[in-house]
A and B are shown apart, each in its own frame.
Chain A
Amino acid sequence: MNEILNIVSLCVGYDKKPVISDFNTRISSPSLVTLIGRNGEGKSTLLKTITGLLPSFSGNISFFNKEISSLSTKEKSTIFSIVLAQPPQIGNITVRDFVGFGRYPYTNWLAMNSKKDNTIIDESLALCGLTDFAQRNFANLSDGEKQKIAIARAIAQNTPVIILDEPTSHLDMVNQIEIFELLHRLVKEKQKTILISSHQLQLAMHYSDEIWLLNQGEIEINAPTFFMENKTIEQLFRLEKIKWG
């Protein structure tokens, strides 16, 4: 395990209002880290700041020894890929072409896929069990399928870090489990570092290597077993009867 991301004294927020301040941590590779916390606590803001989509108020984030803020948008696109809560509303595109978007940072101005690009797209589809969907129209699929395709797209981007912002929030239980299962496999088989925010506490506890618990601007970091044993999460979510199993 080596340290892939190093976050030092990070302060994030929006509209000039800080929501999380003085956040320090190191993320090792490969690992699955889940960020949990109530709505409006700043989970999306934190994730977007780490990927460089939003500027930080202060502090540093570095990928190995490179500071993220000093990198170009293009360079960042080869380090981080993202999956957002809402699948994109886009019609008239096949699943394969959608996954092909992941190759954009590597293709020429006409977005022509090389042999290598095509192989990576096919592998990403296969990894997510989407090979049979390749020629289907993206717009006609269910939200669960669309999110899996969005993950396949992120895999095709071939970045060491994948960041997912509540990707399971609109999905049913079966799809939620399948997505966590898929992310777990990516960490084990492809050595990815995955940072995901989710409200699925039980799945997060089951699959994560590390939990970030965000509560009123403070982040508590520990192993899932630690949180299962003490009552922090139950108190935060007012879930006295929750059973970890």
Chain B
Amino acid sequence: MPLKLNKISLLLVLLSISAVFFFIEDLFLGSVHIPFSNVIDILFTSSSEKLSWNIIVLESRLPRALTAILCGAALSISGLQMQTLFRNPLAGPYILGISSGAGLGVAIFIMGLGFLGISLTHLTWIGNYGIIISSIIGSSCVLFILLVSIIRLKDIMTVLILGIMIGSVASALISIIQYFSYDNSLKSFVMWMMGDLSNVSLAQLKILFPVVLLGLILSFLISKKLNTYLLGEDYAQSLGVNIKMTQFTIIIITAILAGSITAYCGPIGFVGIVVPHLARLISKSSNHIIIIPLSVLIGTNMLLISDIISQLPGSEKVIPINAITSLIGIPFIFWIIFKNKRISELN
């Protein structure tokens, strides 16, 4: 039986509190030890004993923690929307090749500029917007191919295999483009590919934040339509939903969310698949009006925790966040599959 509305509200409040806790924790922990009171001083008054602490907190840890929040929320919601649209519990931006599509878009953009003799180092604004737009275009293209194939193939499992193949083709094309690229642009691209949460500056966050926020608000606005998709397209249409328009909206929102995050943070796996399942499991509900806010908060918590672990507090080494999300995510997927036995009942 689904939880009552007041229990859901309580859950949302608790998750918000834990997100704030992990956010502060993320600012506090790192390779350089900065006393907690100093971190708070730096945040509110921008003053500290050492200038280097100021720089570490404001220009490194704060943007990284904020990016973790955006990343967790955006990837969770893009995964949720894809699971609903494809009616497939294993759908997510990473598996369906959407991240690879975004990568190909960025590769064509960076290396294309290289061919024209333009270096990104001199064009910060064009570079920033160009990467985000090319990434969104790349991910939208993959989503459109997937959607056309759903209409023609009908079998959702085939679409999933197709997604994996599209991902491989995109990676192959990226390799070819890399092979023929100039040194400068190749370097920019490789840096992007290794991208993680710490790559995003405060200036870039000013672009990423409104883009992600827009995607999240739009996805909440279409929750009712997403709910009807749970019944299948024919039922959804018979309930007054304009199927084509809704599919188009879902694709655009997913592309904005997954594309923009991949543009800045590189491909981060498994958050998009796991978080929506956790939200359904905890709330025992499939109602998007409940599971969208819940997924946003669970995703935020998960990415903040992953970021804290990846910093290996107390040591000077940093593990790539992608490795942490995979290590947390994959056992969850196993657990979900074994617990439910039948994949078709997961959604």
Taking Cβ atoms with an 8 Å cutoff, the residues of A that contact B are: 48, 51, 53, 73-74, 76-78, 80-82, 84, 88-94, 97, 101-102, 104-105, 107, 109-111, 135, 137, 139, 157
* Contact indicator B239/A104 (Cβ below 8 Å): yes
* Contact indicator B284/A92 (Cβ below 8 Å): yes
**What residues on A are CB-neighbors of B315 within 8 Å?**
none
Take A89-B347, A97-B287, A101-B231 as given contacts and tell me if A53 and B2 are in contact as well, using a CB distance cutoff of 8 Å.
no
* Contact indicator B280/A88 (Cβ below 8 Å): no
Take A91-B346, A93-B2 as given contacts and tell me if A101 and B228 are in contact as well, using a CB distance cutoff of 8 Å.
yes
In the docked arrangement, what's the CA distance between A241 and B260, Å? 68
Which of A90, A101, A110 has a CB less than 8 Å from the CB of B239?
A101
Is B49 on the interface with A (CB-CB < 8 A)? no
* Contact indicator A94/B234 (Cβ below 8 Å): no
Which B239-297 residues have a C-beta within 8 angstroms of A? 239-243, 280, 283-287, 289
Taking Cβ atoms with an 8 Å cutoff, the residues of B that contact A are: 1-2, 87, 221, 223-224, 227-228, 230-232, 234-235, 237-243, 280, 283-287, 289, 344-347
* Contact indicator B345/A51 (Cβ below 8 Å): no
* Contact indicator B345/A139 (Cβ below 8 Å): yes
Residue of A at shortest CB range from B230? A90
In the docked arrangement, what's the CA distance between A78 and B232, Å? 19
In the docked arrangement, what's the CA distance between A89 and B283, Å? 19
**What residues on B are CB-neighbors of A111 within 8 Å?**
223-224, 227, 289
In the docked arrangement, what's the CA distance between A16 and B234, Å? 20
**What residues on A are CB-neighbors of B346 within 8 Å?**
91
Take A77-B238, A77-B240 as given contacts and tell me if A89 and B223 are in contact as well, using a CB distance cutoff of 8 Å.
no
* Contact indicator B228/A104 (Cβ below 8 Å): yes
In the docked arrangement, what's the CA distance between A51 and B285, Å? 30
* Contact indicator A110/B223 (Cβ below 8 Å): yes
In the complex, 20 of the A-B residue pairs with CB atoms within 8 angstroms, ordered by the A residue number, are A48-B234, A77-B238, A81-B238, A88-B230, A88-B232, A88-B235, A89-B344, A89-B347, A91-B345, A92-B284, A93-B287, A94-B1, A101-B228, A101-B235, A104-B227, A104-B228, A104-B240, A111-B289, A137-B1, A157-B239
In the docked arrangement, what's the CA distance between A77 and B236, Å? 10
**What residues on B are CB-neighbors of A89 within 8 Å?**
87, 344-345, 347
In the docked arrangement, what's the CA distance between A78 and B238, Å? 9
**What residues on B are CB-neighbors of A77 within 8 Å?**
238-240
A131 CB → nearest B CB, Å:
16
* Contact indicator B239/A109 (Cβ below 8 Å): no
In the docked arrangement, what's the CA distance between A51 and B234, Å? 10
**What residues on B are CB-neighbors of A80 within 8 Å?**
238
Residue of B at shortest CB range from A98? B231
In the docked arrangement, what's the CA distance between A92 and B287, Å? 8
Which of A82, A92, A94 has a CB less than 8 Å from the CB of B238?
A82
In the docked arrangement, what's the CA distance between A134 and B221, Å? 28
In the docked arrangement, what's the CA distance between A102 and B237, Å? 12
In the docked arrangement, what's the CA distance between A107 and B227, Å? 13
**What residues on B are CB-neighbors of A81 within 8 Å?**
238
Residue of A at shortest CB range from B281? A92
In the docked arrangement, what's the CA distance between A104 and B230, Å? 13
**What residues on A are CB-neighbors of B286 within 8 Å?**
90-93
**What residues on B are CB-neighbors of A97 within 8 Å?**
2, 287
**What residues on A are CB-neighbors of B242 within 8 Å?**
73
In the docked arrangement, what's the CA distance between A57 and B227, Å? 31
**What residues on B are CB-neighbors of A105 within 8 Å?**
239-240
Q: Which of A73, A94, A101, A137 has the most CB of B within 10 A?
A: A73
* Contact indicator A82/B235 (Cβ below 8 Å): yes
Known: A91-B286, A93-B287, A101-B231. 4 other contacts (CB 8 A): A73-B243, A74-B240, A88-B231, A91-B280
* Contact indicator B1/A135 (Cβ below 8 Å): yes
**What residues on B are CB-neighbors of A53 within 8 Å?**
234, 237-238
**What residues on A are CB-neighbors of B223 within 8 Å?**
110-111
Take A101-B239, A104-B239, A137-B1 as given contacts and tell me if A92 and B289 are in contact as well, using a CB distance cutoff of 8 Å.
no
In the docked arrangement, what's the CA distance between A157 and B227, Å? 16
B341 CB → nearest A CB, Å:
12
**What residues on B are CB-neighbors of A73 within 8 Å?**
237, 240-243
**What residues on B are CB-neighbors of A135 within 8 Å?**
1
Q: Which 9 A-B pairs have the closest CB atoms?
A: A77-B240, A74-B240, A92-B286, A105-B240, A88-B231, A104-B239, A82-B238, A111-B224, A90-B230
In the docked arrangement, what's the CA distance between A13 and B59, Å? 63
* Contact indicator A84/B345 (Cβ below 8 Å): no
B7 CB → nearest A CB, Å:
15
Residue of B at shortest CB range from A136? B1
In the docked arrangement, what's the CA distance between A91 and B284, Å? 9
A27 CB → nearest B CB, Å:
18
In the docked arrangement, what's the CA distance between A104 and B221, Å? 15
A100 CB → nearest B CB, Å:
10
* Contact indicator B235/A84 (Cβ below 8 Å): yes
